[in-house]
Amino acid sequence: RDAEPDERQTAMQIAWTREFLKYFGTFFGLVAAGLTVGAIKKKNPGLLLPIVPLSFIFAYQYDMGYGTLLQRMKGEAENIMGTQSTLLELPKGQLTYEDLEKIRRSQSKFFIEK
């Protein structure tokens, strides 16, 4: 079966995340090992602090690539569309053709008012 454009885009996003995770996972592992060895040798546990933000990035990317992050985001988006649709409305309502023309004319340097 042919994938829909949205499915193809989502699949590419997941594939990109998984590929990124290979490189970032290696980087994270090497940094964690190096900082752990440095903290033990220098008896300075403060050297382990950079692992905290890196672990959040790693966990997020892992959840995106292999976990359920996309399903949870899709579910939340459907919830917002179903129960909080007022959040999706434009501040002054829908744009009309006349509104767009006014904007275009106001931004045009070459427009001469008649």
SS (H, E, C) the chain: CCCCHHHHHHHHHHHHHHHHHHHHHHHHHHHHHHHHHHHHHHCCHHHHCCHHHHHHHHHHHHHHHHCCHHHHHHHHHHHHHHHCHHHHCCCCCCCCHHHHHHHHHHHCCCCCCC
Condensed to tens digits (0 to 9), the pLDDT of residues 78-108 reads 999 999 988 888 887 788 899 888 888 888 7
**Is the pLDDT at 113 greater than 60, yes or no?**
no
Share of the chain above pLDDT 90, in %: 68
Whether the full predicted model's pTM is greater than 0.75, yes or no, is no
For the chain, which residues make up each domain, given as ranges? Answer: 5-88
